[in-house]
Amino acid sequence: MTNSQPRAIVAGHGEFAAGLVSAVEAITGRGDLFRAVAVPDLCAADIEALLRETMRATGARVLFTDLHAGSCTMAARRILRGMPDAVLVSGANLPALLDFAFADTGPDGAGAGVAARHAADRGRAAIDAVEGTP
């Protein structure tokens, strides 16, 4: 652990967020750059309130969510309205988070938005399907 202030929030179904953050920690020791948020059995309004409160508490302006149509993504889109310095990356995966973990976001996290967009590109490019050979 680096004892750093979280620079991004990860939210999604089930244990998606905790799983991804634990994987980042296992690989890089930088898991504390992310705050994992689980939303079991919360209504849409409570999910939005939880994400807003987590953003306020951490100062993070980057949200990684799992599913394009998921509840966390919908809540994040609502939050982004009126928050021009925030960035949402939906469809997030481990390569995207690892890229973000190694990005230079500056001492106050001002570069987190640029890093998030780069992470989205990295995560998109990291998906592959490999077929077996005879």
Partner 1 sequence: MSLALFRIDDRLIHGQVVLGWGQPLDVGFLVLVDDAIAASEWEQELYRMAVPPGIDLYFQTVSDCLAALDRFRADPRPGILLTADVETMRALAAGGGIPAVNIGGLHHRSDRVQRLRYVFLSPREEQALRDIAARGVPVTAQDVPSAHAVPLGEILGDGAAK
Q: Is 45 helix (H, G, I), strand (E, B) or coil?
A: helix
What is the smallest separation between the CB atom of 36 and partner 1, expressed in angstroms? Answer: 18
* CA 4 centroid distance within chain: 16
Beta bridge partners of 88: 63
What is the smallest separation between the CB atom of 20 and partner 1, expressed in angstroms? Answer: 16
Q: Within 10 A of 106 (CB to CB), how many other CB atoms are there?
A: 12
What is the smallest separation between the CB atom of 126 and partner 1, expressed in angstroms? Answer: 22
Q: Residue 52 or 78: which CB sits closer to partner 1?
A: 78
Task: For the sheet with 34-38, list strands across it.
Answer: 34-38, 8-12, 62-65, 87-89
Q: Residue 12 or 123: which CB sits closer to partner 1?
A: 12
Q: Which residues bind partner 1 (CB under 8 A)?
A: 13, 41-44, 46, 67-71, 73-74, 77-78, 81
Q: Residue 78 or 111: which CB sits closer to partner 1?
A: 78
Q: Residue 67 or 114: which CB sits closer to partner 1?
A: 67
Sign of torsion, CA 49 52 54 57? negative
What is the smallest separation between the CB atom of 73 and partner 1, expressed in angstroms? Answer: 7
| Alpha helix positions (H), 1-134 | 16-28, 44-58, 71-80, 94-101, 112-125
